[in-house]
Chains A and B, each alone.
Chain A
Amino acid sequence: MRDKNLGEIRAIIARHKLWDLIFMIVGIFALMIAVLTFMALFAHMLIDGLPRLSWDFFTSFPSRRPGSAGILSAWVGTTLVMLVTAAAAVPMGIGAGIYLEEYASKNIITEIIEINVTNLAGVPSIIYGLLALSLFVHQFGFGQSILSAGLALALLILPVVIVATREAIRAIPVVIREGAYALGATKWQTVSDHLLPYSAAGILTGVIIGLARAIGETAPIITIGALTFIAFLPPSPVKAEFPFVSFEWLMAPFTVMPIQMFNWVSRPEEAFQINAAAAGLVLVVMTLAMNAIAIYLRYRMRKNLKW
């Protein structure tokens, strides 16, 4: 009698242990699907695109002949648009983050702002494109320019920067603030001399992740009506004569990397799709490198952080 029971219990345990094992295999399998898909994507692009990557590819304009087409105007455009995006989103996002974390009192306005930031992060990117089309391109008369595109992407990544700033500032212990106040510092002195320097790495991580996202965004830029065939560069920001800098480039028409890639993908000729693979490879390496830097920074920060 006792032996029989024991045998049954052992059978039940064995069965459940088997389920455990099965699920573990299924789990690894599920994880592998995501990983393998990425490997396939990367390998496919590498095989098609790598032979196309050469110095000429980076220094030529797009062309009707796929063999001599390049991404010069695209990467210059991406760089300039990112300059505008960073210049607008970084100060604004950090300022908003500081306000919400250090200044805001608990009231209805603060709550509205907080809910808003969460909601903005969930708005599809193409809606920001529509906003930019209506507001920047037509209402403000910026046209289909680098300025419009940069501002559209800045609005898009603003929530990312705000959230990163808030998290970085929140991680600083209260004793730091109390120490500063005890020595007679004002609020702003506390923020600028203590909180900002200590949270700089965390904020930087958020900014890099935000910019990596902005580099790959295609939909909002298509929506503002960016041209896809641009065989010239925007006017140079540096001038030979006084005052040496010029902001004409802000209003110039442009193209960016993802738009150039989209343009090549949607053509039927296979030669252009090889160009698309090469452009995609550059784009993926760029965004992955930025994300990897951000992840590494965060890892270092967590390791070194001892208050």
Chain B
Amino acid sequence: MTQPKRLGYSYRRHLGERFIEALLFLMAFVSVAITIAIVAMLVKESIVFFEHVSLWEFFTDTEWTPLFDNAHYGILPLISGTVVSSSVALLVAIPLGTITAIYLSEFAPFAVREMAKPFLELLGGVPTVVYGYFALLFVTPLLQKIFPELPGFSLLSAGLVMGIMIIPYVSSMAEDAMRAVPMHLREGSYAMGATRFQTAIRVVMPGAFSGIAAAYILGISRAVGETMVVAIAAGMQPNLTWNPMEPAATITAYIVQVSLGDLPHGSIGYQTIFAAGLTLLLLTLIFNIIGHVLRKRYREVY
């Protein structure tokens, strides 16, 4: 008995499958191509920049005035602005995000959690330019009532709003980590007579430590890369300061400021934004890698 021909090995069918697999692979490979393109492009433009400006000057000069006649190329003022605004944001987001996460994971009744989670998710979806508007026209005037000497642009109000903006990211990731702690650990703790608070602090939090740490670190990386809030509410003047009450520019705000002007392609001013971008990418990359390692570790615990 011979096999009917239509059930036999079909060369065309096999080829079609192969073609589709190759196509899908190419689509998946696009993400790698994007990364390569980002790094190649930033490095290529930055190399031209660093032929003009030595690395030593870049990291030690205390002024950043690339568009002036008397040009200085020191990244420090931009870094100080970034560090101060991110620190303010984290001072808000880390405590509030952690408390919210503990509350939602260990204390909140089912109904509250079901209401709060989508709401927090919605908060994360509000465009950042809207938060910038809020910082400049609502939070700054409010803060000026408390601190009359606060200028119209300040790292403080930008950082505060950025912090509230980051709360949903920190809390949802920290909560996921706490939920991943197995129930029997909690039950063991309750059986020993511990209260919910004791269980949360002494059993659940240590158990979810690396996941919570990863949430913090991704919060940091988000604060460092945030653009519109600082560009709108912190002013765009580079200013080497560690005082949150002053206006200053962050790395991202500088890139925005340059892009708003009309710089010719290939000029040194044009290349500065790529050097600034490379610095920013390296900063966030470090945080992302730490966060990734921490998350990998907590996944393997249970």
Q: A residues bordering B, Cβ < 8 Å?
A: 16-17, 19-20, 23-24, 26-28, 30-31, 33-35, 37-38, 40-41, 44-45, 91-92, 95-96, 98-100, 103-104, 112-113, 115-120, 122-131, 133-135, 138, 155, 158-159, 162, 186-188, 209, 212-213, 215-219, 222-225, 228, 258, 261-262, 265-266, 273, 276-277, 280, 283-284, 287-288, 290-292, 295, 299
Known A113-B32, A134-B41; contact A34-B123, beta-carbon cutoff 8 A: yes
| Cβ-based interface call for B37 (8 A) | yes
Residue of B nearest to A259 (CB): B129
Interface centre among B103, B131, B196 (most CB of A within 10 A): B103
Which listed segment binds A: B20-28, B61-69, B180-188, B241-249? B20-28
Q: Once bound together, how far apart are the Cα atoms of A23 and B218, in whole Å? A: 26
Known A24-B103, A99-B28, A134-B45; contact A124-B195, beta-carbon cutoff 8 A: no
| Cβ-based interface call for B35 (8 A) | yes
Residues from chain A with a CB closer than 8 A to the CB of B25 are 99, 103
Asked whether, in the complex, the Cβ of B281 is within 8 Å of the Cβ of A27, the reply is no
Residue of A nearest to B227 (CB): A219
Residues from chain A with a CB closer than 8 A to the CB of B218 are 122
Asked whether, in the complex, the Cβ of B130 is within 8 Å of the Cβ of A284, the reply is yes
Which listed segment binds A: B70-78, B143-151, B205-213, B272-280? B272-280
Residues from chain B with a CB closer than 8 A to the CB of A112 are 32
Sorted nearest first, the 7 A-B pairs with minimum C-beta distance are A216-B127, A124-B225, A27-B103, A95-B27, A99-B24, A219-B227, A96-B28
Q: Once bound together, how far apart are the Cα atoms of A29 and B210, in whole Å? A: 26
Asked whether, in the complex, the Cβ of B107 is within 8 Å of the Cβ of A120, the reply is no
Beyond contacts A162-B31, A219-B128, A262-B232: 18 other A-B pairs, Cβ-Cβ < 8 A, are A23-B103, A33-B167, A40-B138, A41-B138, A96-B24, A119-B292, A123-B284, A126-B227, A126-B256, A127-B277, A135-B41, A188-B21, A209-B125, A261-B133, A280-B133, A283-B129, A288-B122, A299-B118
Q: Once bound together, how far apart are the Cα atoms of A280 and B44, in whole Å? A: 37
A sample of 22 cross-chain residue pairs with beta-carbon separation below 8 angstroms, ordered by A number, consists of: A19-B197, A35-B119, A45-B130, A45-B133, A122-B218, A122-B221, A124-B280, A125-B227, A127-B280, A138-B265, A215-B127, A216-B129, A216-B130, A218-B127, A219-B231, A223-B255, A265-B133, A265-B137, A266-B232, A273-B137, A277-B133, A295-B121
**CB of A50 to closest CB in B, whole Å:** 15
Asked whether, in the complex, the Cβ of A186 is within 8 Å of the Cβ of B13, the reply is yes
State how many residues of chain B have any CB contact under 8 Å with chain A: 86
Residue of A nearest to B30 (CB): A92
Residue of B nearest to A189 (CB): B17
Residue of A nearest to B160 (CB): A37
Asked whether, in the complex, the Cβ of B134 is within 8 Å of the Cβ of A44, the reply is yes
Q: Once bound together, how far apart are the Cα atoms of A14 and B179, in whole Å? A: 27
| Cβ-based interface call for B189 (8 A) | no
Residues from chain A with a CB closer than 8 A to the CB of B273 are 130, 223
Q: Which one, A34, A187, A228, A295, contacts B164 given CB within 8 A?
A: A34
Residues from chain B with a CB closer than 8 A to the CB of A133 are 259
Known A17-B195, A122-B288; contact A26-B127, beta-carbon cutoff 8 A: no
Known A112-B32, A130-B255; contact A262-B228, beta-carbon cutoff 8 A: yes
**Total A-B Cβ pairs within 8 A:** 256
Q: B residues bordering A, Cβ < 8 Å?
A: 13, 16-17, 20-21, 23-25, 27-32, 34-35, 37-38, 41-42, 44-45, 95-96, 99-100, 102-104, 107-108, 116, 118-123, 125-134, 136-138, 164, 167-168, 195-198, 200, 218, 221, 224-228, 231-232, 252, 255-256, 259-260, 262, 265, 273-274, 277, 280-281, 284-285, 287-288, 291-292
